[in-house]
Chain A
Amino acid sequence: DTAVSQTPKYLVTQMGNDKSIKCEQNLGHDTMYWYKQDSKKFLKIMFSYNNKELIINETVPNRFSPKSPDKAHLNLHINSLELGDSAVYFCASRGLGETQYFGPGTRLLVL
């Protein structure tokens, strides 16, 4: 059973487009995250939601808008995509004091 799933796995798009990435977890965790891993492999936190409420926003451009319809889902919408947005985006979830689990990643390439 997949614990944290993301769609799509790959996303190739043109500059200026708007795209969304979806994430779902079936672990019953209260907290979900979005991370960006750039070409240098640095894993940087972008957002965190706890029970559908935003608790961390790491000075990410406001072109990025997370949405949590319920505590099992955290989606990421990106407006006006730029070349520098090309990266791997990982969703993750964590229970309080527990291990953090990552989704398989979405490889975004902006042309």
Chain B
Amino acid sequence: RKEVEQDPGPFNVPEGATVAFNCTYSNSASQSFFWYRQDCRKEPKLLMSVYSSGNEDGRFTAQLNRASQYISLLIRDSKLSDSATYLCAVDLGGATNKLIFGTGTLLAVQP
């Protein structure tokens, strides 16, 4: 089993739709969680951290479910500019300061 797993998609949604991505992780000792966004031929950039209580940033909401070991990202009112690959990342903590990335979920927002 991969350490961090995501549905690769693609998710094809119309503008204005709400779309949700899930990401599961295998190590229950994982400490921190993040969503990154990667545009075509660009580097991954942090979209948001994921906190235990859930957190929101505009149209984006991130949730963490430690019991079931998954994180989610909800995008409301999708825009064309949201089209990208969304990568979840999990930090095991400790001395290595290492992030494990999922394979990414491709989102294509259609006009």
B99: which of A40, A41, A100, A104 is its contact (CB, 8 Å)? A100
* A56 within 8 A of partner (CB): yes
Give the interface size class of chain A: 20 to 34
* B57 within 8 A of partner (CB): no
Which residues on the B side are within 8 Å of A45 (C-beta)? 98-100
Which residues on the A side are within 8 Å of B95 (C-beta)? 50, 55
Which residues on the A side are within 8 Å of B42 (C-beta)? 104-105
- Shortest Cβ gap from A56 to chain B (Å): 6
Main secondary structure of the interface of B (DSSP, over half): strand
* B85 within 8 A of partner (CB): yes
Give the interface size class of chain B: 20 to 34
Docked pose: A105 CA to B38 CA in angstroms: 12
A43: which of B32, B49, B87, B96 is its contact (CB, 8 Å)? B87
* B101 within 8 A of partner (CB): yes
Main secondary structure of the interface of A (DSSP, over half): strand
A56 x B87 contact (CB < 8 A) = no
A41 x B103 contact (CB < 8 A) = yes
Residues of B within 8 A of A (CB): 32, 34, 42-46, 49, 85, 87, 89, 95-101, 103-104
What 4 A-B pairs have minimum CB-CB distances, sorted nearest first? A102-B43, A43-B101, A31-B97, A99-B46
Q: Could you list 26 examples of A-B contacts with CB < 8 Å?
A: A31-B97, A41-B103, A42-B101, A43-B44, A43-B87, A43-B101, A43-B104, A45-B98, A45-B99, A45-B100, A50-B95, A55-B95, A55-B96, A55-B97, A56-B98, A90-B44, A94-B97, A94-B99, A96-B97, A99-B49, A100-B89, A101-B46, A102-B43, A102-B45, A103-B43, A104-B43
